[in-house]
Amino acid sequence: MELYPLKVFLTVATERSFSRAGEKLLRTQPAISLTVQRLETELGERLLDRSGRELVLTDAGRIVLDYCRRFENLERDLENAIAELRDMAAGRLVIGANESTTLYLIQHIVNYRRLYPKVKVQVRRTLSSKIPEQLIDGDLELGVISYDPEDDRLEAHAIYHDHLCFVVSPQHRFAGRAQVSIKELGMETFIAHNVMSPYRESVLKAFNKAKVPLNMDVEMPTVETIRKMVQRNEGVAFLPKMCVEQELESRALIEVDVLEINVERRIQLLYPSRRALSHAAKAFLEVVQTPVAGAR
């Protein structure tokens, strides 16, 4: 059933006149009358008693009038809800990120929430490799990754530049060194992340090129567990600097340069290039245009 005939009937029932309803809706009286007749035919019930000088609602007419008013209220609620979205007084923003890249969002989300406190922000933890596909399929509005997706269906905006850093415990034999050679790492036990990434591949290639064994005898599921293992001097690790900044500042971990390894991480905010973004997503893109502390 179309909504327009209900709106016409609501006006007729309120005005108790086809002619006055026509004037209000800028339609002719015959057009208004025909619309109501078609509605009655569709419902299989007479809605108006036309026998007297004024139109009188039948029992069916009173029921339909009640629903017409409900529809009118829903239409008003819809208009208000859309207006709130435009004014950023409502809405939801869904961003996909993996464990480590979520850290790069923190300050941006803080800034965003200060400007738009009524927008609900949901960060979904997902594998970085799956984020481009989820964006294209519409499961996510925005995504954060640390590699080039190489897909012309996606736009990318760099929000942070970082690098992999080699970290050791303060008790480790390298803790007093500013730099080491990759050839000195052949006897070290590396605490590795058990999720494959382009950066892990870069480290593997560097060790293969130098013909140095890379002993990844321990693999952990999260950056947090890797960090704690290294702090306990159970091994060493390559981790994104953003993930260990606090530990480096407090000297719970020590960064040592590896001469042959310089792996930059460019953190990118992705969004579909061929799909309209919500008001909430557009506003977030505007927020990330302002550099945060640490961005270069």
CATH of the domain at 272: 3.40.190.10
In a domain, 73, yes or no: yes
The pLDDT assigned to 290 comes to 65
- Give CA–CA dist 42/203, Å, rounded: 71
42 and 167 fall within a common domain: no
98 and 244 fall within a common domain: no
Which amino acid is present at 201?
A: E
The pLDDT assigned to 52 comes to 76
60 and 109 fall within a common domain: no
Question: Each residue's pLDDT tens digit in the chain (296 positions)?
Answer: 578 999 999 999 988 889 999 999 999 999 999 999 999 999 999 999 888 778 889 999 999 999 998 888 888 878 877 877 777 777 888 999 988 888 889 989 999 999 999 889 999 999 888 999 999 988 899 999 988 888 999 999 988 888 999 999 999 999 999 999 999 999 999 999 887 777 888 999 999 999 999 999 899 989 999 999 999 999 999 999 988 999 999 999 999 999 999 988 889 999 999 888 888 898 899 998 765 444 44
- Give CA–CA dist 127/290, Å, rounded: 27
The pLDDT assigned to 293 comes to 43
In a domain, 24, yes or no: yes
In a domain, 295, yes or no: no
Helices and strands: H and E segment counts in the chain: 11, 13
3-class secondary-structure state, position 55: coil
The pLDDT assigned to 58 comes to 92
240 and 252 fall within a common domain: yes
In a domain, 86, yes or no: no
Residue ending a domain, choose from 81, 108, 131: 81
Strand partners, 158: 268
In a domain, 87, yes or no: no
The pLDDT assigned to 296 comes to 42
Q: How many domains does the chain have?
A: 3
- Give CA–CA dist 27/151, Å, rounded: 52
226 and 166 fall within a common domain: yes
CA 116 to chain centroid, in Å, comes to: 15
Question: Within 10 A of 137 (CB to CB), how many other CB atoms are there?
Answer: 10
134 and 75 fall within a common domain: no
- Give CA–CA dist 258/126, Å, rounded: 30
Which amino acid is present at 214?
A: L
Segments forming the whole domain that contains residue 108 = 92-158+267-288
- Measuring CA to CA, how many Å separate 16 from each of 10, 30, 87, 239? 10, 15, 38, 75
In a domain, 293, yes or no: no
- Strand 48-49 relative to strand 56-57, pairing: antiparallel
240 and 258 fall within a common domain: yes
CATH of the domain at 234: 3.40.190.290
In a domain, 99, yes or no: yes
102 and 198 fall within a common domain: no
In a domain, 112, yes or no: yes
The pLDDT assigned to 270 comes to 95
3-class secondary-structure state, position 87: coil
130 and 67 fall within a common domain: no
Instruction: Decide: pTM greater than 0.75.
Output: no
Burial grade of 23 (CB within 10 A; 0-12, 13-18, 19 or more): middle
And the tokens for 184? 């000195």
46 and 109 fall within a common domain: no
Q: Which of 243, 235, 250, 115 is nearest to 187 (CA)?
A: 235
